Amino acid sequence: MALQLVAVLAIIVVDNEIRVAHGLAVIIVGEDPASQVYVRNKKKDCDEVGFNSEVIALPENTEEKELLALIDTLNKREDIHGILVQLPLPKHINEDAVINTISPEKDVDAFHPENVGHIMIGDYTFLPCTPAGIMEMLKFYNISVAGKKCVVIGRSNIVGKPMALMLLEKNATVTIAHSRTKNLKELTKEADVVVVAIGKAKFVTEDMVKEGAVIVDVGINRIDGVLYGDVDFENVEKKASYITPVPGGVGPLTIAMLLLNTVTAFIEQNK
Ligand code: L34
């Protein structure tokens, strides 16, 4: 559904000319197998909706300055509206330096500090793809978070922190839990909505959740070739009113939001 929505939005009229929103550059450095799958899925979805996308695969030993120079070139290209550098990067490359180099108007991940600041004050062009997808999904299922207790497990810059801000913006009462949180179960048992993004297979168990809770699983853990979320799906499912599966849940939504952000970037750059 989400992809079809993006496809409709992708054709717009600029100066009486019909144009297709294209121009997403995805950079991947190294051979991380999970990243390769995610980038391949992004490319596939771009092709499906008719975007021009370029996947630029660089070797593991790429120097930071080469990567920054490439981003600089993409920043200047008029046919590229969105730039994404797949994370994580190899250890010898400074992630912050890379994110800071992406032009904020092309930052379709919304990771640049300028975009993060805009989100903080509720005046933004882009939202980070994973939490934005989760908010869209809640809206689609008419799940209001206003006045509800929401627990976000995980405090990363790409999921946990922005997720908490977005829920807060929709008037939820938000708790952010993390590896140092004491008595996590006491928090989750009270929660109307639990979003978990910590990367530990089957971490959230049935005894931790309230009857009728909404459970959103961001984790993707591969064990012996099988994918597991951060939630013990089979058992938690019995108690939850809604629960997202892994695979086929938050991952594909993340990509749909990336395409939406690329459309937004295209529109903004053609104003
Ligand atoms: N810069 N780095 C940047 N932007 C992002 O938005 C991401 N993320 C996360 C990792 N690094 C990033 C993604 O793209 C996670 N992520 C992502 C994207 C797609 C999928 C999962 C995570 C996905 O396609 N998931 C499939 C299964 C994939 C599999 O078989 O492993 C699913 O159905 O969940």
| Residue 9: per-residue pLDDT | 55
Ramachandran bin of 95, using left for φ above 0, alpha for ψ from -120 to 50, beta for the remaining angles: alpha
Give 40's pLDDT tier (boundaries 50, 70, 90).
Answer: very high
**pLDDT tens digit sequence for 150-208:** 999 999 999 999 999 999 999 999 999 999 999 999 999 999 999 999 999 999 999 99
- Whole-prediction pTM value? 0.94
Catalytic site includes residue 42 = yes
> pLDDT over 90 for what percent of the chain?
89
3-state helix, strand, coil in the chain (%, to 5): 40, 20, 40
Catalytic site includes residue 36 = no
Instruction: Give me 185's structure tokens.
Output: 């179960």
| Residue 268: per-residue pLDDT | 93
Q: How far apart are CA 216 and CA 250, in angstroms?
A: 8
> pLDDT over 70 for what percent of the chain?
93
Residue 271 has pLDDT above 60, yes or no: yes
Among candidate residues 45, 109, 192, 232, the one labeled active-site is 109
Q: How far apart are CA 157 and CA 137, in angstroms?
A: 21
Atom 32 in ligand 1: residue holding the nearest Cα: 247
| Residue 22: per-residue pLDDT | 74
CA of 251 to the centre of ligand 1 (A): 5
Q: How far apart are CA 132 and CA 162, in angstroms?
A: 9
Pocket test for ligand 1, best of 38, 228, 258 (most atoms within 8 A of CB): 38
Q: What is the mean pLDDT of residues 214-220?
A: 98
**pLDDT tens digit sequence for 220-269:** 999 999 999 999 999 999 999 999 999 999 999 999 999 999 999 999 99
Burial (Cβ within 10 Å: 0-12, 13-18, ≥19) of residue 194: buried
Pocket of ligand 1 (CB under 6 A): 34, 37-38, 41, 84-87, 109, 129, 220, 227, 246-248, 251-252, 254-255
Ramachandran bin of 147, using left for φ above 0, alpha for ψ from -120 to 50, beta for the remaining angles: left
Give 270's pLDDT tier (boundaries 50, 70, 90).
Answer: confident
- Phi, psi values for residue 58, rounded to 5°: -110, 150
Closest CA to 194 of 252, 229, 159, 151: 151
Catalytic site includes residue 86 = yes
Atom 14 in ligand 1: residue holding the nearest Cα: 38
Residue 7 has pLDDT above 60, yes or no: no
Instruction: Give me 129's structure tokens.
Output: 């793809």
Pick the atom of ligand 1 nearest to 84's CA.
1
Residue 94 has pLDDT above 80, yes or no: yes
| Residue 86: per-residue pLDDT | 98
* HSE toward the beta carbon, residue 243, CA cutoff 13 A: 25
Say how many C-beta atoms besides its own lie within 10 A of residue 30's C-beta: 18
**pLDDT tens digit sequence for 119-143:** 999 999 999 999 999 999 999 999 9
